Structure 1
Amino acid sequence: MPLLHFLPLIFFLLFSIGCTSSPPADPPFVVAIEAAPTQFDPRLATDAYSERIGQLLFSRLLRSDAAGRKVPDLAERWEVEGETIYTFHLRKNVRFHDGRPLTSEDVRYTFESILDPALASPHRKSFEMVSRIETPDAATVRFILKKPHAPFLTEMTKGIVPKHLAEKGGLGTLASHPIGSGPFRFVRYDPDEAVELAAFSDYFDGAPAIPRLLFRIIPEDSVRLLELEKGNIDLLQNAFPPDALPRLQQNPRLKIIQAPSTTYSYLGFNLNDPILQKKPVREAIALAIDRDAITEHLFKGLARPAAGLLSPSHWAYADSVKVYRYDPEEAKERLDEAGFPDPPGPAPRFHLVHKTSQNDLARRVVEVIQRQLSEIGIAVTIRNYEWGTFYGDIKSGNFQIFTLSWVGVDDPDIYHNLFHSESVPPNGANRVQYRNPRIDRLLEAGRITLDPEKRKAVYNEIQQIIAEELPYVSLWHTMNVAVMKKEVEGFYLYPDGDFYGLKEARRR
């Protein structure tokens, strides 16, 4: 065939190929979140969104189910010998997202690296009871403890990292491109925009039904709600103001589910501050906050005032601790007692700076607390920061007072992380710098007491002392609420607000 006749044929074929497109991919399943995660490495993560997204990326030996019970994840089964030897038998043929097999060496490496001071893991104190870790074979890992440790199985919910990558690339590898063995694999992360994940086809428990998962980072409540109502968001979990709930309930394109939560909100004090280290000042602040009014008007009944860290449904909950009910007149008397009399004129007794995030509901709560404290003569300046800056200040102790929440309150051993004198950062989360030798001894006893009733008695006393000493003002326990498109099925709520339910979620 002459060349001039052949060229039009080539152009026709090229044009035909160019015009033939594959069917468009399904749009990603979009979940809106309030703040960017700060750290994907499960050995270092401490903020809620880092841990929740990390649980989709990294499998664990054990995980909590929707009822809060410990169930197998990487471990098919486990045995306990005596009180100090735990042997876990791993599932066969588990692979990391890069195709490498996960073995007992990865498990050992994960926990040994957490214990290595060079890593500076904030979880290190939680594993100091481990004497050594043995790997008899690729599918077996054995932990030998120095002494009995009642919450040990709870601690086995840390994500397992790939030894070959963590050793080779250091911290930067898992921080910038996390590779685990969870139901989703990492695609990309823009701290100002989104975290994108994709279903891991070789996940040992079956690939998720959602092919692509996009966590959109939207700090403003109003924008999240607008995007939800426009149909640009598939699911919101606890990331909207409670007063928007009636409006969302009337939207025929949405459905709402609710479940009890273990989330605990509190006001924390810097106990090194010369004003706040005085207990009567902390008592006055506790007495000046009308928690009933805040939970009724701002939370619309989706929160209930808390007496302490543990919710009333928790097995170790103490129901007779000291409670500071709203009493502004008594609050003023405590300030007088502390040496801060009410001066003549409009001048306040003293000034405090209250730090919080830029979350709309958090700001509204702090504004109400500001007004309530002004009624007893305390002037409060509010400082709002984007999440990363705010959380960095709290971890470094750069605050006077702050409001924050603990999510995933499970074993009462959390008190050790929050209030033991050796758990001050970077060794733990005792960010308020609380120190009490009696509490230290009780917390150590609670860890080695295996009998449930005796252990409950130990934590009963701990809760009594913490309520008296007031390193925190307990505010409220919130409900878990998820709003989603009507066509979303299979998603269920976890008590700690985990996103693991996304593994089973799908569009109808």
Structure 2
Amino acid sequence: MKKRRLFSLLLAAAMSLALVSCGNGGDTSGNGTADGGNASQVDADGDGYKDTVKLAISTDPNLDPWLTGMAYDLNVGRQIYDPLFREGENGEVEPWLAEGYEMVDDTHIKLTLRKGVKFHDGNELTTKDVKFFLDNIESNASAASRFVCYDTANTEIIDDYNMVVALKYPYAEGVYLMTRMYIPSSAAFESMGADKFATAPVGTGPYKMTRWDTASEIELDRFDEYWNGPAATPKLLFRVIPEASSRMIELETGGVDFAYSISTSDYDRVKETEGLTLVEGDSSLFTSLTFSMQEPLFEHKDVRYALCYAIDKQFLIDTCYGGYYTIMDTIYPKMLFGAEEVGTVPFDPDKAKELMVQAGYPDGFDITLHVVGEAEKRVCEAIQSMWLQYLNVRAEIIQMDYVNFEAAGNKYQAAVRTGAATNLTSALVIYKTSFGRTLQVNDQYLNDLVEASDQQTDPAKRLEMVQEIQEYVYDQRYQMAIANAPMVYAMNDKAEGFEFDIFGAPFLATFRVGV
């Protein structure tokens, strides 16, 4: 029998009292409860399922449709917006808002939109909305780099449901990237303006936003006119709970029905707790150590090698990830096209010391080590200790979220990052000079190689290119892949209709929880 953790229950009760007294996470909508006034409405229609499913997320998402690219944004964003296509279980492209496509030639894609699709504001989806999305991809650097292949100036609308999307050059994944295009209502955006729209987005998804209390709660109501049929649950309530331990307690005590991003140290705890279940599977998530290629300290290859040799990856997996992660011998997840086993960097502190002397740093140096996320901070702390012990490299850990990181200009020296790549383009984009978020790229040879591979539509020739890229990256050691993570979701064991997602942002239209 699973254990019921009484200590956690008592701790949760104490925390709840503290939160109420401090005004943290309390009701700001006038509904009279901290969960949007739905605590008593468990099963109003008597169908045996909860009317409101509550989900614990770690942070407020960014719901600007051009920036909704990270898993923690899409946790909410995928319920509000629909993409043009969806990715199938085997990586194939499936119709969604677009019911089909045709390659007119190497640089032109004819799209046919589904008729009768409604936005939450009542307007019908047309090619004008898709063109509006394309016309605004230059609104931020991240979107511009992800969708750089599209030639928006020469994209033409044929009628309300047909259009020809132009590419600047032949692009191997021109259609696949449309699985990452989340289409907003152009009418609502133009009426509201960018800032207001980002806090009250209007899409075609199965749920529409009804309330957003920043850093507290996001409430979504079922959109009854959803083109693919109404969602299974009338209301979703996302509760922002930054600490993984607190998300776990809320799950145990029934404060939420579903928790994203629980700590690896809690995996067994979920399995042992009555009323909970853990859903596990392969994922595209991986942790890596990255070096800014514009940092003078790292111009010397021996320094990059030394810092990598001084890290015991198995120790990181055992102590920081509870043994659940696996050491990577590729530079991106094995499930992606062309992944090659380039090898793992061995733990060799003696070799690391020797290289530091050769590079002119026998006494080490000071450096900053940037991080986003709780588990990754533990990795940083372990790396900090190893570097100090073996190389006298003194690392200052700087933790901030991606929003603040980008606001600060994406500047850093070294960083521990968790990436998630569901296709080859997104895995390799970090090596392009146009994408400055993670590597501050200045290697023109590598940039040109990645660009050429993106434009190669012959699979055999592309495979040769991407294998050359992987071998080059491993040799240069601009980054060191550390570990591949499983995808894990924790939830009420009465949950049904869960659609597993390797990226970490499941689509919840069919999800429901029994009473």
TM > 0.5 fold call: yes
Match of 1:36 among 60, 67, 70: 60
RMSD, aligned α-carbons: 2.1
Structure 1 distance, partners of 2:100, 2:266, is 44
1:210-289 aligned at under 5 Å gives the runs: 210-237=233-260, 239-289=261-311
Residue in structure 1 matched with residue 452 of structure 2 by the alignment = 445
Assess, with a 3 A threshold, how the Cα gap between structure 1 residues 495 and 46 changes in structure 2: closer, same or farther: closer
Match of 1:82 among 98, 105, 108: 105
Secondary structure of the corresponding residue to residue 318 of structure 1: coil
Say whether the 8 Å CA contact 2:71–2:503 is kept in structure 1: no
1:350-389 aligned at under 5 Å gives the runs: 350-357=365-372, 359-376=373-390, 377-385=392-400, 388-389=403-404
Say whether the 8 Å CA contact 1:413–1:446 is kept in structure 2: no
Residue in structure 1 matched with residue 145 of structure 2 by the alignment = 125
Once the two structures are TM-superposed, the CA of residue 111 in structure 1 deviates from its matched residue by 0.7
Letter in 1 for 2:476: E
Match of 2:463 among 456, 470, 485: 456
Q: Which runs of 5+ in 1 are unaligned?
A: 1-21, 343-348
Say whether the 8 Å CA contact 1:266–1:473 is kept in structure 2: yes
Structure 2 distance, partners of 1:327, 1:121, is 39
Assess, with a 3 A threshold, how the Cα gap between structure 1 residues 78 and 385 changes in structure 2: closer, same or farther: closer
Structure 2 distance, partners of 1:270, 1:447, is 23
Once the two structures are TM-superposed, the CA of residue 253 in structure 1 deviates from its matched residue by 0.6
Number of equivalences: 465
Residue in structure 2 matched with residue 49 of structure 1 by the alignment = 72
Once the two structures are TM-superposed, the CA of residue 308 in structure 1 deviates from its matched residue by 3.9
Residue in structure 1 matched with residue 486 of structure 2 by the alignment = 479
Residue in structure 1 matched with residue 357 of structure 2 by the alignment = 336
Secondary structure of the corresponding residue to residue 175 of structure 2: helix
Once the two structures are TM-superposed, the CA of residue 322 in structure 1 deviates from its matched residue by 5.1
Once the two structures are TM-superposed, the CA of residue 444 in structure 1 deviates from its matched residue by 1.9
Match of 2:324 among 294, 302, 306: 302
Once the two structures are TM-superposed, the CA of residue 506 in structure 1 deviates from its matched residue by 0.9
Q: Which runs of 5+ in 2 are unaligned?
A: 1-39, 45-49
Once the two structures are TM-superposed, the CA of residue 462 in structure 1 deviates from its matched residue by 0.8
Q: Does 1:202 align with 2:215?
A: no
Once the two structures are TM-superposed, the CA of residue 166 in structure 1 deviates from its matched residue by 2.1
Say whether the 8 Å CA contact 1:86–1:143 is kept in structure 2: yes
Residue in structure 1 matched with residue 313 of structure 2 by the alignment = 291
Say whether the 8 Å CA contact 1:165–1:173 is kept in structure 2: no
Assess, with a 3 A threshold, how the Cα gap between structure 1 residues 355 and 191 changes in structure 2: closer, same or farther: farther
State TM-score, norm by structure 2.
0.85
Once the two structures are TM-superposed, the CA of residue 175 in structure 1 deviates from its matched residue by 0.8
Secondary structure of the corresponding residue to residue 275 of structure 1: helix
Secondary structure of the corresponding residue to residue 323 of structure 1: coil
Say whether the 8 Å CA contact 2:141–2:435 is kept in structure 1: no
Q: Does 1:402 align with 2:409?
A: no
Assess, with a 3 A threshold, how the Cα gap between structure 1 residues 322 and 213 changes in structure 2: closer, same or farther: same
Structure 2 distance, partners of 1:262, 1:442, is 23
Structure 2 distance, partners of 1:76, 1:44, is 24
State TM-score, norm by structure 1.
0.86
Question: Which stretch of the first structure deviates more once superposed, 47-56 or 242-251?
Answer: 47-56
Assess, with a 3 A threshold, how the Cα gap between structure 1 residues 420 and 385 changes in structure 2: closer, same or farther: closer
Once the two structures are TM-superposed, the CA of residue 387 in structure 1 deviates from its matched residue by 6.0
Once the two structures are TM-superposed, the CA of residue 53 in structure 1 deviates from its matched residue by 2.0
Residue in structure 2 matched with residue 19 of structure 1 by the alignment = none
Q: Which has the larger radius of gyration?
A: 1
Structure 2 distance, partners of 1:194, 1:110, is 28
Letter in 1 for 2:396: T
Once the two structures are TM-superposed, the CA of residue 205 in structure 1 deviates from its matched residue by 0.8
Structure 2 distance, partners of 1:218, 1:461, is 43
Q: Does 1:178 align with 2:201?
A: yes
Instruction: Calculate percent identity across the aligned residue pairs.
Output: 27
Alignment deviations for residues 161-183 of structure 1 (CA, whole Å, 9 cap, x no partner): 11212233331232121000011
Assess, with a 3 A threshold, how the Cα gap between structure 1 residues 243 and 202 changes in structure 2: closer, same or farther: same
Structure 2 distance, partners of 1:216, 1:183, is 19
Say whether the 8 Å CA contact 1:356–1:390 is kept in structure 2: no
